Structure 1
Amino acid sequence: MKLFRCQCCGQTLYFENTVCLNCGSTLGYLPEADRMLAVAPDGPVWRALPDAGAQTQDADPGPLRFCRNWERSACNWMLPCPEGDAAGEAGYCLACQHNRTVPDLSTPEHVALWIKIEAAKRRLVYSLLRLNLPRPLPESGHPQPLSFAFLADDPGSAEPVMTGHADGVITIALIEADDAAREERRSQMGEAYRTLLGHFRHEVGHYYWDILVRDDPAALEACRALFGDERADYAAALQRHYETGAPDGWENRFVSAYATMHPWEDWAETWAHYLHMVDTLETAAALGLRVDAGADLTAQVHIDPYQSRDAATLIDTWVPLTLALNSLNRSMGQQDLYPFSLPPDVQAKLRFVHDIVHQTSRGREPSARQPV
């Protein structure tokens, strides 16, 4: 994620900011222009404030509205307001248009957890926009649109909500937004890493396997050569994984223990790590980070990872950066921020994901700021 700047005072802004802590301006993110804007109300709409430090002003985006979920402090994205429609109701932004189900918001505890989920979702959608990946909307007529269901456990049911993907619907269990509960699950399941954003990136990997691999014979054959045959019995593989765990030596071929369970999970875990990589590298580039740990662990992070056509460049930069991140975390008494390694087999899988993503991106018009 890149950093943003308040055009009124020059203050550095984070993606989640809703108010500039320096000048007090109201902030909103306009995904169509990839801009964080300081805005002021103009009757029923909002307008971007002038850039006080610029010799030339960016194009005026015109009248804007906040996403309808802004009213619940669950979204800071904006959308253009068509001229002459100032009296109309606010709609949903490019991210929230994909919501299919949200929890019962009459329960305050649900609202607090849902707001956390929405923040992670927006980071995911930012990456999908930057990578120009298809994002068919639920009302688009696409046979498998991308949608999200955020569900709380039913007190009257013994079966908890399970995070997962099925037929384009990504379900996130509301309890995963509870930090203590999520950490307890991570520890019980022996996982090195478990975050809300990680769930989104993993589950959307399943979605893009359906969209980008399943119906492309050449991609499917190449995918099976690297990840294995996804026609293997999934239920049996799941049972075997939780009974016996990952096989000995898995670290030489898989990015995580869970990736060993089934070829679909290997793909989804690799996809998630690819999104971890490009988003974190963009942040490192925005900060101008340089890592010099000797030998082959030197990197000047100055690339735009979302535009890089060369997977090897991304990986060669990522490995020393993770060493730096883990070392900094240990200095603060924390566990490794990135508790994974990338052996040659995993790097080959990451290159495959990278190539699939960029073949798709190059094959589409650069209109990722518009829903398709």
Structure 2
Amino acid sequence: MAETTGTMAASSAISSRWGRGLRRCLAHPLLWPLLTLILLLAGNGLFNPGFLALQWRDGHLYGNLIDIAHRAAPLALVSLGMTLVIALRGLDISVGAVLAIAATVAAWTIGHVSNDGLLPLWLAIAAALAAGALCGLWNGWLVVGAGMQPIVATLILMVAGRGIAQSISGGQILTLYYAPYSFLGNGFVLGLPFSLFVVAAVFALLQLALRKTALGLFVRAIGHNPQAAHVAGVRARAITLGAYVFCGIAAALAGLLVSSNVNSADANNAGLLLELDAILAVALGGSLLGGGRFSLAGSLLGALIIQALTTTIYAIGVPPQVNLAVKAVLVFAVMLLQSPLCRGQLRALLRLRAERRA
């Protein structure tokens, strides 16, 4: 009898632990973005048996999965910068224009410097990053210094940015013939695209800063309650300004990858509507658009989801313009799910159905 009681108690304890583990797993913010990505990839694998195949050829790894990750790299960089801004209750809808400015500045720099050695490459990278930082500083000053609403402040550069880029390029598409620069967007390291290492480095540095220093705590405090954070002594204005600068630098890095990948800089079309994709990636990753709660890993998953969705739409032969409609539906769905009123009504409906079944 004692053995039976002990066995039942042990079984009950194991079941309780499994239940707690399952609830913890279901409540994890990365579960649904990860599940969405897996379902997208699995669906492609079912309709196209060779979709998930990987090949090692000429010292490089090839396959659709590698292509998705490679093509999502610029969006992933911009999404990391956007995550930090949104976590602080901000928004930056000028990232597409900043990408175009940085790409044009880099192409112009290479075109006006002798293509000998690596000096033009470093000059182009430094010039592009400086341009992105200046754009971020401008946006941050309008938000922090002038007190403008973030969407209005960044709308100014969104409208004027492409005009600035076209002025630098003379209204022309700048073509590049410089192998070291092309390596940024087309090169491979250890068999993988170099762009993936750029994203990994930026993610690791940002994660380190947010996890191993007080910066992450400050960002959450400002996002939850800016006034309380200010009273507590948090330098909210400086941190917000720094977030916009970082967002500009992230967009500039994305511009380097985009322009080096196609060996040209198109001031009119580079990064067009990228701000929509970046905001959607952040939202899909589980970050609250109202600030406070954010996930860098979730934003990376969101960028991969968007690129996988785009690849799926093209693979099944749907017209490209439908891609924009699908993204709009996703934005609508995400905003509804993030609405406290909508979530409350959904929980009440599920509770009512459960009571009726009981």
| TM interval, short-chain normalised | under 0.3
TM-score normalized with structure 2 length: 0.23
**Larger strand proportion of the pair:** 1
Higher relative CO (Cα under 8 Å, sequence separation at least 6) belongs to: 2
